[in-house]
Amino acid sequence: MSRGRFITFEGGEGGGKTTQIARLKAALEARGIVVLHTREPGGTEGAEEIRHLLVTGDPGRWDPVTEALLNFAGRRDHVERKIHPALTAGTWVLCDRFADSTRAYQGYGHGMDDDDIESLYRVAVGNLVPDLTLILDLPVEQGLHRAVHQRGGSEDRYERMDKDFHQRLRDGFLDIARRDPKRCTIIDASLEMDAVTKAIFKAVRDRLDLDLS
Ligand code: TMP
């Protein structure tokens, strides 16, 4: 059996990742591919407990290094217990956020050192790298407006951080894509949903050689 593909969805708040992952999952399943839709922070029982610590409470609750450590602790559990076994079994894994979110939020957003983040990556994740990363990019104002209307509830710790922070995030994700163009594709998420889906399917065709049209 061939190994599954690992696709990560990244970007700031309100980019419509949930809808787009559901659409890609349905299209892959229609071609007989087994798909796992998962998310970070979270994805396993333990990592979901860590998620709760990260996404609720006061915006200044954690310093950036603690925040990165918590994210990588959850990520290790997720990779070990869920992502690796799924890929080995031939399942395609669609992950709503992965390590680029730590690079963008804790690195570009909160100023944590790049090399330190990469050291944590080596320890927690090892050699696993996504086959394709789709960065859903849109203007900060538009994303925050959408996020506030979509979410509700108490998981709003990051949305309550200031606008400059969200601008650094956006610039950070674009920089990550520029530095790793073989893995990353920028998707214009300001467009209407069908156009975004089309761009994602095109990326899957171009990068992973699978035609979903
Ligand atoms: P979500 O809103 O996409 O579910 O993600 C929860 C929040 O966690 C989101 O604001 C981004 C943030 N986050 C980080 O700061 N670092 C990380 O490594 C990950 C995975 C998410």
What are the tens digits of pLDDT across the range 57-113?
998 899 999 999 999 999 999 999 999 999 999 999 999 999 999 999 999 999 999
Region at 116 (left for phi over 0; alpha for psi -120 to 50; beta for the rest): alpha
What is the domain-level CATH number for residue 91? Answer: 3.40.50.300
> What's the pTM?
0.95
HSE (CB half, 13 Å, CA atoms) of 200?
Answer: 30
54, part of any domain: yes
Atom 16 of ligand 1: nearest residue by CA position = 102
Minimum mean pLDDT among 142-146, 172-176, 205-209: which range? 142-146
86, part of any domain: yes
Split into its structural domains, the chain has a count of 1
- 101: Cβ below 6 Å to ligand 1? yes
- 9: Cβ below 6 Å to ligand 1? no
Closest ligand 1 atom, residue 102 Cα: 18
Residue 179 confidence class, pLDDT cut points 50, 70, 90: very high
Closest ligand 1 atom, residue 42 Cα: 20
> What would the pLDDT profile of 97-154 be if each residue is shown by its tens digit?
999 999 999 999 999 999 999 999 999 999 999 999 999 999 999 998 888 777 666 6
- 97: Cβ below 6 Å to ligand 1? yes
8 A C-beta contact, residue 17 and residue 202: no
